[in-house]
Copies of this chain bind each other. A is one copy, B any other.
Amino acid sequence: MELLDGRSLANELTQAQQMAVTQLKQQGIIPKLVVIMVGTDPASTIYTKNKQKRAAKIGIASELKQLPDETTATDLLALIHQLNEDATVDGILVQLPLPKQINEDQIIQAIDPQKDVDGFSPVNIGKLWLNEPGLVACTPNGIMQLLAAYNIDIAGKNVVIVGRSNIVGRPLAALMLNANATVTIAHSHTVALKALTKTADILIVAIGRARFFGVDDVKKGAVVVDVGINRLEDGSVTGDVDFEALKTHVSAMTPVPRGVGPMTITMLMAQTIEIAKGRAKRG
């Protein structure tokens, strides 16, 4: 089995990104990412810190706009409009979830689609399905990069995606379809799920159930991409598939951790740099 080593690829890409940023700075452009966080959700605090750390490592200017829990939609929209207008800001990311008084859809739609580094705005999702250039959600984008780095063929393959979230399953379906895969999207309403997963040449699971899929549920020689992150009672982290059992059964597989996870933040940086390159070109 080939290990689809997201951490190792992320490290390589990070080095290339450092060089790209150095070149941009020589042109007088400093890529800049602004992360907006409302409230003090502990998980969000960790995620935003990780994003800032990675940005700093690469040389991307990052700014955390930390707003109080009781922030109104009006205040948040005003900030987003200001950042939309600010020519020195390349990427704008609103850390989700937002407090209940704020409509997330409305906020995401307010971000300039050209600065929407998370690729969550309707315009970018529409472009993705139209197979037009645009910004793409980072986790699916990272999965495609990881498969490409290991020369995994996609065209004509049966790809089964388990999970239909807006941030993983749906955009990944578009990317896979655009790459000429035959794509099936399964979810909580799917009947005979494990018979379906067994038909997949490439199986992508994102349901958040520890070791839910085993040898009997996966085709011999399949490629498995595990997006699940499940914390066990002993504190360890495991994916949605039984990695140990599948090791001798599949042809390639992502580990958890160090598989898909490290790619997500790497794609966030990649898109921020791409936007900054566009700014450099426009002069």
Which A residues contact B (CB, under 8 angstroms)?
Answer: 105, 121-127, 129-130, 132, 134, 155-158, 164, 166, 170, 173-174, 177, 180-187, 189-191, 196
Decide if the interface of chain A is mainly helix, strand, loop or mixed: mixed
Q: For residue A182, which residues in chain B have a CB less than 8 angstroms away from its CB?
A: 184-187, 189-191, 196
CB distance from A210 to the nearest CB of B (A): 23
- Cα distance, A22 to B186, chains bound together (Å): 44
The verdict on A170 contacting B129 (CB below 8 Å), with A177-B185, A182-B184, A189-B180 known, is: yes
Q: For residue A123, which residues in chain B have a CB less than 8 angstroms away from its CB?
A: 122-123, 126
Q: For residue A127, which residues in chain B have a CB less than 8 angstroms away from its CB?
A: 122, 126
The 10 closest A-B pairs by CB, nearest first: A122-B126, A125-B126, A126-B126, A184-B184, A180-B189, A182-B190, A156-B189, A122-B123, A122-B127, A156-B191
- Cα distance, A7 to B240, chains bound together (Å): 47
The verdict on A156 contacting B190 (CB below 8 Å), with A130-B166, A177-B185 known, is: yes
B185-A183 in contact (CB<8A): yes
Q: For residue A134, which residues in chain B have a CB less than 8 angstroms away from its CB?
A: 122
Q: For residue A173, which residues in chain B have a CB less than 8 angstroms away from its CB?
A: 173, 185
Q: For residue A181, which residues in chain B have a CB less than 8 angstroms away from its CB?
A: 189
